[in-house]
């Protein structure tokens, strides 16, 4: 495993610990069983799935197509 892959695995593990801990409970309480969401950065994508009441974080392969940026929409979130 390359150092970059190790870094991404470490980040996925940190998300898992956060979402399954007391601070992530608010996020997980709003997901239904089997529901998921993705987090995309420039080079990686993580999928978070609620299974058995817990967050399971998976590192997805690099996307081959770029999704349009929603950064303009994020400025309207309060």
d(CA 48, CA 70): 19
Number of domains within the chain: 1
Is 31 within 8 Å of 50 (Cβ atoms)? yes
Q: Residue 45 falls within a domain, yes or no?
A: yes
Q: Residue 22 falls within a domain, yes or no?
A: yes
The predicted model scores a pTM of 0.73
Q: Residue 21 falls within a domain, yes or no?
A: yes
Q: Residue 73 falls within a domain, yes or no?
A: no
Residue 44 belongs to domain spanning: 3-63
pLDDT (tens digit, 9 = 90+) per residue, 3-52? 988 998 999 999 999 999 999 999 999 999 999 999 998 888 999 999 99
Structure tokens at 77: 């979130």
Q: Residue 30 falls within a domain, yes or no?
A: yes
């Amino acid at each position: 495993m390359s150092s970059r892959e190790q870094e991404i695995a470490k980040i996925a593990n940190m998300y898992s610990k956060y979402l399954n801990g007391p601070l992530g409970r608010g996020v997980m309480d709003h997901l239904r069983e089997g529901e998921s969401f993705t987090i995309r950065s420039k080079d990686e994508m993580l999928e978070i799935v609620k299974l058995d009441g817990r967050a399971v974080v998976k590192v997805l392969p690099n996307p081959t197509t770029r999704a349009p940026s929603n950064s303009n929409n994020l400025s309207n979130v309060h």
